[in-house]
Every structure is written in C-alpha cells, then in structure tokens.
C-alpha cells in the first residue's frame, strides 16, 4: 500500500494534511481516514474540512484511483460531526451560511468523483459525519456497540447544514426524515438499516473488507450506484402533494408544549419539504441560509453552552482515583432503590437489591420488567439482552455475603437512625474496606452517616432524582471527610449510568432542593393569596418550564414537600417559612398524583381534591386579587435566582457552570436559556435586585436579596 501522505508523487499530488491520512493501494482503492490513528474522537474542525477538500480534489486528479473508501481512524470511531467549538464561535447568519456552504461543497466533491465512494461506518456517525456519508454512493456499517447514526443538530438549536436535510429526506422519504431530524434521533445500526440510512450491516471485524467488496462490486458495474427509489407510503408522502399531510402532522407536534420555544425543528421541517419542491442546488442554498439564521439565535447559544456543561460534567468521572465499580448492592427497594437497581442492571452492573419487604422486591422486579418490555416493543433491545439485564439484578430479603461488593448504596426511609444502623451492619458483616458507602438521602447530612465508619472518607452521597431511570442529574455529595477518590468514583459511576454528575457540598437541600424551595413555597403562597393553579402554571409554562410549580407539587407529593420544607425551614428560619398549604394538604390526604390528586386530578387535567383545601385556606387568609403575569414571573423566578447565587457564594457548588447544569437537569430550568446565570444576566442583575428590594418592602422581608447578588449587580 502506498501512503500518499508520506510519499508524494507528481502525478498524484499528496493530500497536504495528516489530519486526513489517505493511501492508494495497488488495486486503485483510495482509503481516506477521517482522523489520525491516535484520535479517539474525531470532529470536523475547519482545518479538517479544508484537508478533506484538498484530499478529495487530489483523488479526482489521481489516475490510479478506481474507488474511494471513507473510514474512521480506529475501531469504534467514524466521526462525531462538526466541532462544537466551530459552531459556538459563529455569531452572524452570514458567517454561518458561509461555513455551511463550505462544508457541503467539500462533501459534494465526493459526489462529483467519477469513481464509486463507499463509507465504512463504525462508531458515531452523527451530524456532519452522516452528512458526509450521505454524499457517498454506498454506506456499510458495522454492528459495533458504539455505532450510532443520525442528525442531532436540532439539539444544539441548529439545522443540519452540510446537505443533511436534502439528502436524508430524498434517501428515506419525508416522514422518516422528519421523524429523525426534528427530534435529533440517533439510531443503532439495525434500525438505521431498516430505515434506509445505511445499505449494509456487517459484523465489526468484517467492516473494511465488506466495504472493499462493495466498492469492487460498484467498480465492476462500471457506473456509480443509483439511489434506491422511494416506494409505497414514503413515495406518496414525499413525491406527491400528499406530503402536505406529513408536514401538517409534524407542524402540529412542533406547536405543542416546550417545542414552541425551539425554532430549529420548524426550520428543518420546511427544509425537508423543500427537498421535494426545489431543485437540489436551491435546496442546499436554502439549507445553508437556514443554518446561518439558526446558529446566531440565542436558543442555539444557550443549547451549545449546555452541551459544553454536559461534557465538563462527564470529565468529573475521570478524576484522580476514580475506580470502576463492578459489584453493587442496593439496600431499600422502594421508589428510588428499585429504580436505581434497575438502572445499574441496565447499564451492565451486577446488582443485589435487598429490602425487608418481599412485596417491595416483587414490585421492583415488575418495574424493571415493564421498562424492558417497553424497550423490547420499541425494538431497541433484543430478547437475550433483556434476559441478561434481568439476570444482573438479584433481589433478596437477606443481604447474604458482602465479600466482593464494591458499592454499597442505601435508599431506605429518610431516617438518620435507620440509615446509620444499616451502615454499621454492613461494616460488621464484612463489607470490604475499599467499598464505597453511598446514601441516596435527599435531606440528611452525609457526614452524620459517616460518624461511626472507621474510614469515613469513603462515605459519599449519590443523590438520584425521581425517577432515577429518567432524570439526568446526580448530585454527588461531598461530606467534610469524603475523599477526592470517593467523589471521582461516584462521578464515574454516574457517567456510566448515563447521568450528569455535579459535586455539591453536604448542606441542607444540597443544590436542587435548596433552589426549588423558594420557588415552590412562593407558588403555595400565591395559591393561598388568590391566584389559581392554572394561572401560576401557565406563567411558568410560557417561561419555558416543562411543568408548572403546582403540577410539580402534585408530582412530588405534598408529604414530601412538607418534609423538605421543614428541613429548609430549620436551616433558613427567616427566608424559608413553610406555607400552611403543605400541612393542610397532608392533613386532608390530598397528597398529589400518588393519592387521588392534589391541585389537579391525577392525570393533570382538571381540578383535584386539593381545591377544597385551598378554598378553606383562602377563606381564612382573606385572599386578595390574582397576581399579574409579570408579578408571577418576578415572585417565582427572582427568589430562585437569589438562592442560586447564595449557593454559589456558600460553596454549595464550585462554579456558575455547576449551578446552570444542576438547575437545567435537576428542575428542568429551560435548556434554551443555557442555565439560570445566563438568564439572570440577560434579565439584568440590577433589575432583579431592584424588584426583590421592592417586594421585600411591599410584600415580605423574605424577598431581600443577598449581598452576593447586590455586589454582582453593581459590577
Ligand atoms: N422519592 C423521591 O422522590 C426521592 C428522591 C431522591 C431521594 N430520595 C431518598 O431516597 C430514599 C428512599 O426514598 P423512597 O422514596 O424510595 O422511599 P420508599 O418508602 O419508597 O422506599 C423505602 C424502602 O426501604 C425499605 N426499608 C425500610 N427499612 C429497611 C431496612 N432496614 N432494610 C431494608 N429495606 C428497608 C422499605 O421496605 C421500602 O421499600 C430516602 O432517603 C429519600 O429521601 C427520595
């Protein structure tokens, strides 16, 4: 094989960059690697796109070349798409459109080659990487576990800009393209084959040979591969005016709920339609223009910031001393323990779930089975994989032998005495010295749990949110004696479970519940003083929250809210006096969704039994007028901002980035705002301080902002 990078020839000018190694063998097969062999993550930087353009131009001039194979640099890596730094650095629509045109024109060089081009895909082939592959004549993918294929651009608030909307829509038809692009879905290789994104699927070790065979087949045919024709519904809903039906259904979805805050999916929808209504050149031009417009929106800036925050969080799992936990034990199989154990099993970790109650364990198994059933029905799990997951979760009322356990996690009732007793028992029963001792407490001091542990540096809080299978955040709680290695190990586990960890100080409410407390307390006060739950919730839905605070209280349950608000009250007696609504709802047994409804009915539609409780409290308090939209905005959001900065100043979290990630992932603070601190800055810190001062004077001193916020406001 001839390395054109190291052995330039006059008749075949060598590609000038080692960023895209290229070789041509004796059969005239050019093999282009998208990165250097030492690159474990390949992205499309500006330099790499230029190098690709030079390489493709050189191949067009090289008389030896009879076919081109495009592959990643190493097993498990094709290309992770455009470099996000490149996206983040673009500020104007014109710059964005130009960058899109440059990328797409580079990839079009492949299409213009007179010889066939085959993409050999293994590992991520997402965003710009799939757009490159879509300009190839044939796509062969391997069944490697890391293979994922799709166009997730809308998750960064942009549209695919390197030809993706046009090429994918024409390849798979409008309905499938809309389904994939508008939600930014990533497909595993099997569904990708079924949906027509790839042409062949082969076992990983055979990928390169299969791609070469495909190339030889194309060469033998003596012409470029013709794209498959759309058939059946895909044809009718793409190539005929019936496509308006597919578009209408998609538009309806995009008008609902939080989707209305995101312009990129709407723009992508129009572009996909244009793939069938405009000539290709105009479709590509429209796409580049739309990318330029989207990339400059605040939504894209917010989502891009969030992406960087998630990457930063994943790095916490690589801290010094981070160990891999392989044998785990969860004690307490209720709402949280069952979810945590099921999650561990699903992510490949053998787990023993123990509970004093056999029926709790039966419910835990049923819950896991139900989850797996859903995945089986959606076909993103094979039956033997489901069986392996079930086998990984053992359940027992007896603990058995603790030898070999390297994570012992408790999720029993929120009672310090019970938790301390169980930890002592684990040690007495021979829990190995190296094992991490973790608690899922939501309000108790982690350090108190470490009180009688001989080596307390291994005691850590791993605070999952409910439901653990779905909620993306984990607060890793550092007690005063917790070691860095224990923190790093807990973070590594969180990342392995597909979650985003943030490290928080061992203090009441940690970060999320602390910031949630003033928000939910204020919602309760507004309710009791005369504003209806619908009005409160609508104001926050219109702000971009996934759920209004009254629905959220129903979901959390008034019993839990009352408990948490007591803890917060003890810690902050002046600022966080619990509203009587919590206790009254508990007394009336109107706990929320878990017990026949709260302010709303169980399904969230229509009033619930809590309205009677509310009416009585309003009568007693002599409720006033309904709060205006702007008052709701100020009273619900500004105290939360003040609390978030207090957390920063008290070292509950180490940085604004942690605050932002924690509140987006923990309470659903609108992701398109990029976090609570960018929102506060945009709102104006001085505006916030002035509004809080005014509320402190006219409504209640609890609104008075902290010195930290005041100081920042004048800077
Ligand atoms: N529910 C939430 O939303 C949530 C969220 C985050 C954290 N947490 C925390 O998670 C923990 C568990 O909460 P939950 O909601 O799952 O409670 P739960 O009441 O649903 O479950 C607790 C389980 O512990 C079992 N248990 C009690 N004593 C035991 C013992 N000695 N040995 C073994 N099992 C025992 C019970 O049988 C029960 O199944 C608490 O510390 C809670 O603060 C809860």
Domain boundary among 505, 528, 546: 505
Q: Predicted confidence band at 191 (pLDDT cuts at 50, 70, 90)?
A: very high
> Does residue 667 fall inside a structural domain?
no
Instruction: Give the integer Cα–Cα distance in Å for 303 and 299.
Output: 6
331 shares its domain with 469:
yes
The beta strands (E) that lie in 325-472 are given as 328-331, 351-354, 393-396, 407-410, 436-439, 459-464
> Does residue 428 fall inside a structural domain?
yes
Q: 107, exposed or middle or buried, with CB in 10 Å at 0-12, 13-18, 19+? A: buried
Q: In the prediction, which pLDDT does 470 show?
A: 95
Which CA distances in Å does 441 have to 144, 373, 447, 557? Answer: 38, 30, 12, 17
Instruction: Give the integer Cα–Cα distance in Å for 560 and 439.
Output: 18
Atom nearest to 354 CA in ligand 1: 33
Average pLDDT over residues 100-118: 97
Atom nearest to 336 CA in ligand 1: 16
Q: Return phi, psi of residue 200, to 5°.
A: -145, 150
| pLDDT greater than 70 at residue 82 | yes
Output the CA torsion sign for 429, 435, 440, 445: positive
Instruction: Give the integer Cα–Cα distance in Å for 30 and 35.
Output: 15
Query: For the chain, how far is it from start to end, CA to CA, in angstroms?
Result: 63
Can you tell me whether residue 230 is helix, strand or coil?
coil
500 shares its domain with 517:
no
Q: Predicted confidence band at 148 (pLDDT cuts at 50, 70, 90)?
A: very high
Which residues have CB under 8 Å from 87's CB, separation 6+?
Answer: 156, 158, 295, 300, 304
Instruction: Give the integer Cα–Cα distance in Å for 299 and 48.
Output: 27
| Percent share of the chain, pLDDT over 70 | 98
490 shares its domain with 530:
no
DSSP H helical ranges for 198-231: 207-221
| pLDDT greater than 80 at residue 670 | yes
The CATH number of the domain holding residue 618 is 1.10.1040.50
| pLDDT greater than 50 at residue 675 | yes
Q: In the prediction, which pLDDT does 276 show?
A: 97
23 shares its domain with 113:
yes
Instruction: Give the integer Cα–Cα distance in Å for 143 and 122.
Output: 7
529 shares its domain with 494:
no
Select which of 144, 225, 384, 463 is catalytic: 463
Q: In the prediction, which pLDDT does 15 show?
A: 47
DSSP H/E element including 29: strand 29-33
Instruction: Give the integer Cα–Cα distance in Å for 103 and 82.
Output: 9
Q: Whose CA is nearest to atom 11 of ligand 1?
A: 411
Average pLDDT over residues 284-290: 98
Cβ atoms 61, 105 nearer than 8 A? no
Q: Predicted confidence band at 624 (pLDDT cuts at 50, 70, 90)?
A: confident
Pocket test for ligand 1, best of 333, 413, 443 (most atoms within 8 A of CB): 413
pLDDT single digits (tens) 549-605: 999 999 999 998 999 999 999 999 999 999 999 999 999 999 999 889 999 999 999
The answer, yes or no, to whether any atom of ligand 1 lies below 6 A from the CB of 413, is yes
495 shares its domain with 519:
no
Q: Predicted confidence band at 14 (pLDDT cuts at 50, 70, 90)?
A: very low
Average pLDDT over residues 66-92: 96
Q: In the prediction, which pLDDT does 16 show?
A: 53
> Does residue 677 fall inside a structural domain?
no
Q: 57, exposed or middle or buried, with CB in 10 Å at 0-12, 13-18, 19+? A: middle
DSSP H helical ranges for 278-333: 280-295, 298-315
Average pLDDT over residues 458-482: 97
> Does residue 526 fall inside a structural domain?
yes
Give the range of the structural domain holding residue 107, as residue numbers without chain letter.
Answer: 2-296
Q: In the prediction, which pLDDT does 7 show?
A: 41
Q: 221, exposed or middle or buried, with CB in 10 Å at 0-12, 13-18, 19+? A: exposed
Q: Which of 677, 680, 698, 700 is closest to 689 using CA atoms?
A: 680
Cβ atoms 655, 308 nearer than 8 A? no
Q: Which of 138, 403, 305, 193 is closest to 682 using CA atoms?
A: 305
Q: Predicted confidence band at 8 (pLDDT cuts at 50, 70, 90)?
A: very low
User: In residues, how long is the chain?
Assistant: 715
The CATH number of the domain holding residue 73 is 3.90.226.10
398 shares its domain with 365:
yes
Q: In the prediction, which pLDDT does 225 show?
A: 72
- Give 630-656 as a DSSP string: HHHHHHHHHHHHHHHHHHHHTTSSSSH
* Partners of 200 in the β-ladder: 140
The answer, yes or no, to whether any atom of ligand 1 lies below 6 A from the CB of 238, is no
573 shares its domain with 442:
no
491 shares its domain with 582:
no
Give yes or no: 144 in active site.
no
pLDDT single digits (tens) 313-351: 999 999 999 999 999 999 999 999 999 999 999 999 999
The answer, yes or no, to whether any atom of ligand 1 lies below 6 A from the CB of 333, is yes
> Does residue 553 fall inside a structural domain?
yes
The answer, yes or no, to whether any atom of ligand 1 lies below 6 A from the CB of 649, is no
The answer, yes or no, to whether any atom of ligand 1 lies below 6 A from the CB of 422, is yes
Q: In the prediction, which pLDDT does 280 show?
A: 96
Can you tell me whether residue 370 is helix, strand or coil?
helix
Q: In the prediction, which pLDDT does 502 show?
A: 98
Mean pLDDT of the chain: 95
| pLDDT greater than 60 at residue 509 | yes
The answer, yes or no, to whether any atom of ligand 1 lies below 6 A from the CB of 112, is no
Q: Which of 464, 477, 513 is closest to 653 using CA atoms?
A: 477
> Does residue 664 fall inside a structural domain?
no
Tally of structural domains, the chain: 3
Angle at alpha carbon of residue 84, lines to 465 and 144, rounded to 5°: 70
For residue 319, report the distance from its CA to the centre of ligand 1, in Å: 30
* Partners of 592 in the β-ladder: 597
Cβ atoms 319, 447 nearer than 8 A? no
Which CA distances in Å does 451 have to 252, 423, 454, 459, 479? Answer: 56, 10, 8, 10, 11
For residue 114, report the distance from its CA to the centre of ligand 1, in Å: 66
For residue 336, report the distance from its CA to the centre of ligand 1, in Å: 6
The answer, yes or no, to whether any atom of ligand 1 lies below 6 A from the CB of 259, is no
Number of H helices, E strands in the chain: 30, 18
87 shares its domain with 33:
yes
Domain boundary among 296, 330, 359: 296
The CATH number of the domain holding residue 388 is 3.40.50.720
386 shares its domain with 479:
yes
Mean pLDDT is lowest, of 8-12, 33-37, 420-424, 493-497, for 8-12
Strands 407-410 and 393-396: unpaired
Q: Which of 523, 528, 554 is closest to 615 using CA atoms?
A: 528
Domain boundary among 505, 530, 549: 505
524 shares its domain with 489:
no
For residue 94, report the distance from its CA to the centre of ligand 1, in Å: 55
> Does residue 666 fall inside a structural domain?
no
Q: Predicted confidence band at 2 (pLDDT cuts at 50, 70, 90)?
A: very low
Instruction: Give the integer Cα–Cα distance in Å for 553 and 549.
Output: 6
The answer, yes or no, to whether any atom of ligand 1 lies below 6 A from the CB of 355, is yes
For residue 323, report the distance from its CA to the centre of ligand 1, in Å: 26
Q: Predicted confidence band at 10 (pLDDT cuts at 50, 70, 90)?
A: very low
Instruction: Give the integer Cα–Cα distance in Å for 497 and 391.
Output: 18
Cis previous bond, 333, omega within 30: no
For residue 245, report the distance from its CA to the centre of ligand 1, in Å: 49
> Does residue 661 fall inside a structural domain?
no
């Amino acid at each position: 094989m001839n390395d054109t990078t190291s052995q330039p020839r006059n008749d075949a000018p060598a590609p000038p960059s080692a960023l895209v190694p290229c070789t041509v063998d004796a059969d005239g097969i050019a093999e282009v690697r998208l990165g250097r062999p030492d690159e474990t993550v390949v992205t499309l930087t500006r330099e790499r796109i230029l190098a690709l353009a030079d390489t493709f131009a050189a191949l067009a001039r090289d008389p030896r070349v009879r076919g081109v194979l495009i592959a990643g640099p190493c097993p498990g890596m094709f290309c992770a798409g455009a470099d996000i730094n490149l996206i983040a650095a673009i500020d104007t629509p014109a710059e964005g459109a130009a960058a899109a045109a440059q990328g797409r024109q580079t990839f079009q060089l492949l299409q213009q080659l007179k010889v066939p081009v085959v993409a050999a895909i293994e590992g991520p082939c997402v965003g710009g990487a799939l757009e490159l592959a879509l300009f190839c004549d044939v796509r062969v993918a391997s069944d490697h576990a890391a293979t994922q294929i799709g166009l997730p651009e809308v998750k960064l608030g942009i549209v695919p800009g390197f030809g993706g909307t046009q090429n994918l829509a024409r390849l798979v038809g409008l309905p499938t393209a809309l389904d994939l692009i508008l939600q930014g879905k990533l497909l595993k290789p099997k569904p990708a084959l079924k949906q027509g994104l790839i042409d062949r699927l082969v076992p990983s070790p055979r990928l390169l040979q299969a791609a070469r065979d495909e190339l030889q087949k194309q060469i033998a045919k003596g012409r470029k591969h013709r794209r498959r024709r759309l058939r059946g519904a895909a044809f009718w809903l793409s190539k005929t005016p019936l496509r308006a039906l597919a578009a209408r259904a998609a538009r309806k979805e995009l008008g609902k709920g939080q989707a209305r805050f995101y312009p990129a999916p709407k723009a992508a929808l129009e572009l996909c339609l244009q793939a069938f209504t405009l000539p290709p050149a105009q479709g590509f031009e429209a796409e580049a223009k739309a990318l330029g417009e989207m990339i400059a929106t605040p939504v894209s800036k917010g989502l891009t910031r969030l992406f960087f925050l998630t990457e930063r969080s994943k790095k916490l799992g690589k801290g010094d001393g981070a160990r891999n936990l392989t044998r785990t034990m969860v004690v307490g199989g209720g709402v949280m323990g069952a979810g945590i154990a099921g999650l561990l099993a699903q992510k490949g970790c053998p787990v023993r779930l123990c509970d004093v109650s056999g029926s709790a364990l039966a419910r835990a198994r049923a819950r896991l089975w139900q989850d797996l059933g859903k995945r089986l029905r959606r076909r993103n799990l094979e039956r033997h994989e489901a069986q392996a997951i079930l086998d990984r979760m053992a359940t027992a009322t007896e603990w058995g032998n603790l030898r070999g356990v390297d994570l012992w996690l408790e999720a029993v009732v929120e009672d310090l005495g019970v938790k301390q007793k169980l930890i002592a028992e684990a040690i007495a029963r021979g829990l190995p010295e190296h094992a991490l001792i973790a608690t899922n407490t939501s309000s108790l001091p982690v350090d108190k749990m470490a009180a009688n542990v001989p080596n307390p540096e291994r005691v850590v809080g791993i605070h999952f949110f409910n439901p653990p299978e779905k909620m993306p955040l984990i607060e890793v709680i550092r007690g005063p004696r917790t070691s860095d290695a224990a923190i790093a190990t807990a973070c590594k586990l969180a990342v392995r479970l597909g979650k985003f960890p943030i490290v928080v100080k061992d203090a009441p409410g940690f970060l999320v519940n602390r910031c949630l407390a003033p928000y939910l307390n204020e919602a309760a006060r507004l309710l009791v003083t005369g504003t209806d739950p619908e009005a409160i919730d609508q104001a926050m839905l219109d702000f971009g929250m996934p759920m209004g605070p009254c629905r959220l209280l129903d979901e959390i349950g008034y019993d839990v809210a009352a408990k948490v608000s007591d803890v917060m009250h003890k810690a902050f007696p002046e600022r966080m006096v619990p509203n009587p609504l919590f206790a009254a709802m508990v007394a009336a047994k109107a706990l929320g969704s878990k017990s026949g409804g709260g302010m709303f009915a169980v399904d969230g539609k229509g009033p619930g039994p809590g309205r009677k409780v509310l009416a009585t409290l309003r009568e007693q308090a002599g409720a006033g007028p309904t709060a205006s939209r702007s008052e709701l905005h100020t009273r619900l959001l500004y105290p939360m901002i003040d609390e978030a900065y207090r957390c920063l100043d008290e070292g509950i979290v180490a940085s604004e980035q942690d605050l932002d990630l924690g509140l987006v992932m923990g309470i659903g603070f609108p992701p398109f705002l990029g976090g609570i601190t960018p929102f506060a800055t945009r709102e104006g810190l001085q505006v916030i301080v002035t509004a809080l001062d005014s509320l402190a004077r006219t409504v209640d001193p609890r609104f008075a902002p902290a010195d930290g916020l005041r100081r920042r406001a004048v800077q």
